[in-house]
Amino acid sequence: MPETIKAEELQLFNIFNDGYRFEIPDYQRPYAWTTEQTSELLDDLLYAMGRAENVSEASPYFLGSIVIIKEDGQPQSYVVDGQQRITTLTILFSVLRELAAESNKSAIDKYVYAPGAVFAGIPGHFRLTVRDLDKGFFQDNIQQMGSLSHFVKSSHGKLSDSQTRMLENSSYLWKSISKFDEKRRNSLMQFLVQRCYLVVVSTSDRNSAYRIFSVLNDRGLDLSPTDILKADIIGELEKTEQSSYTKKWEAIEEDLGREKFRDLFAHIRMIYVKSKLYGTLQQEIQDSVLKSVGKSKFVDQILTPYAEQYEIVTRECYESAANAESVNEVLRYLNRLDNFDWIPPALEYFKRYPKDTSRLLRFLRDLERLAYGLFIKRANINQRIRRYADVLQGIEQGKDLFEPESRLQLTADEKSEILCALDGQIYWQIRVRSPLLLRLDNMLADEGVHHVHSVISIEHVLPQSPRSGSKWRKNFTEDERTDWTNRLANLVLLSRRKNSKAQNYDFDKKKKEYFQKGGMPTFPLTLQVLNENEWTPEVLKRRQRKLLNTLKKEWRLE
């Protein structure tokens, strides 16, 4: 049978129905979306829904694409790409169903469960079947009507990583949506099924499905938005000027690299628009930037100066007779983060005050404090963008950004949230732990000391799985090990890869043969451990208190 490929843009109403019976093959990776991605999805949906007075009049909202293997005319659909999105939407439908009025529960449940036809001998089934390892867990706790309210409120034993994500996202959505009144919940459900679309790419052949997946995820060198803008902007100039401006444009692009050049345009757009990108980059640049300055002035008055500041910010190469190294040091801390949403306010401040080094340094230190605070408490992209938009607004309006009420400053509630996160199981905050430990290590180092290592690993002093009969099991109860193993006080940095055998040594031997191997460690965080004669719960409590006080003092978290 010849392979068939079909791509359709469909409402969720036409996806979660009898035409599709989604199944996640066992060879797919586990469910991995965290509350960060889930909160971003919910924020985006609410923002898009709220832009229209009536849901029926809201602009269509595009949720992305999925790739499935599906025989034409058959509902069985094996998901090759898009399982994170499909699974999270199923959780969202399940939450909305459980929180709905009794009269609406069945109407929403049909997007989670196909009831079948008893007299026709057609059995009911769930619209989505996840991998076998999680199938029973997902059905019993989330998809089955009436189970979710108990699931999100009860305690659970040890769960797999994917089941933990399912629980966390269910709990997040439950907590968020339960704050809505019935009318708002109904509007969200209506918006989801009527105005939200997915592009469903289906093929009857597995090899074809993976070719499509590869094409959709290939970075390639397609025509970039900046290429389109270049043609539009330079094409409008006088012919006598086109050659010189083309050289200016291409020199900046070559210096930054194609990807960073595109990022620069995204940062410029943010400076002018001060909101998340909901259209296309080139259209928003044209509407919000070019119309305000004109195409002829764009290269000289906007692109060139922002490119100069962008190079300074990303390459940490600020030059000045005073404070230059301090400025570059703060930029190094910022560039370690897993997002670059802080860059637009940094660019704008550098552009406005390039020579006022004291003012620049003060601003950057407060920006770093805010950026790390949002990073540690895992603010999602929408929350970060809104916050930095407020900071940009303050810069533009000439407000005092250093007063307590400024949006550059942390609120009392934010300080409390950050401290709570810092005092928790920080090792499991995968993206946070390395930048945080490096930043803390710098706080403990002598001023101006800056270490560069090709390999940096994070090590537990108290091992995660101490061997039977070791001193670790004598010095720590099971509860104490659970409490302390993955907290800040028990973590150190090493300038080499982990040694799985040495990780479980008793403390004395671990200090001598692991932490000191090849000479004394260069990380103050690790050096402190060598000054301890023993490693007990009391030592960890004292160390945790000292490390938290260091962070409190540096970031003014009191």
Q: How far is CA 364 from the centre of its chain?
A: 22
Q: What is the pLDDT of residue 175?
A: 95
In the numeric block, the tokens 């996160």 are attached to 421
For residue 481 the two structure tokens come to: 């090990």
Q: Residue 325 and residue 328: Cα distance in Å, rounded?
A: 5
Q: What is the pLDDT of residue 273?
A: 94
Question: What dihedral do alpha carbons 286, 292, 296, 301 form, nearest 10°?
Answer: -110
Across the chain, how many H-helices and E-strands are there? Answer: 26, 10
For residue 367 the two structure tokens come to: 């920006």
Nearest to 313 by CA among 332, 326, 298, 300: 332
Please list the residues that pair with 459 across neighbouring strands: 492
CA separation, residue 307 to residues 253, 262, 299, 347, 546 (Å): 9, 11, 10, 9, 42
Q: Residue 317 and residue 300: Cα distance in Å, rounded?
A: 22
The tens digit of pLDDT for each residue in 384-429 reads 999 999 999 999 999 999 999 999 999 999 999 999 999 999 999 9
For residue 430 the two structure tokens come to: 């995968």
Q: What is the pLDDT of residue 212?
A: 62
**Strands 21-23 vs 128-129: parallel, antiparallel or unpaired:** parallel
Q: Residue 332 and residue 328: Cα distance in Å, rounded?
A: 6
DSSP string, 86-147: HHHHHHHHHHHHHHS-HHHHHHHHTTTEE--BTTTTB--EESEE--HHHHHHHIIIIISTT-
206 and 74 in contact (C-beta within 8 Å)?
no
Beta carbons within 10 angstroms of residue 390's beta carbon: 16
In the numeric block, the tokens 């009831």 are attached to 115
Low-confidence ranges of the chain (pLDDT < 50): 1, 218-222, 447-448
Q: Residue 94 and residue 90: Cα distance in Å, rounded?
A: 6
Q: Residue 160 and residue 163: Cα distance in Å, rounded?
A: 5
pTM of the model: 0.76
Q: What is the pLDDT of residue 13?
A: 92
Q: What is the pLDDT of residue 292?
A: 85
Q: Residue 394 and residue 401: Cα distance in Å, rounded?
A: 7
Contacts of 427 by beta carbon, 8 Å cutoff, 6+ apart: 433, 458, 460, 485, 486, 487, 491
Amino acid at 396: E
Please list the residues that pair with 129 across neighbouring strands: 23
For residue 161 the two structure tokens come to: 């990583």
The tens digit of pLDDT for each residue in 258-279 reads 889 999 999 999 999 999 887 7
Q: Residue 462 and residue 524: Cα distance in Å, rounded?
A: 18
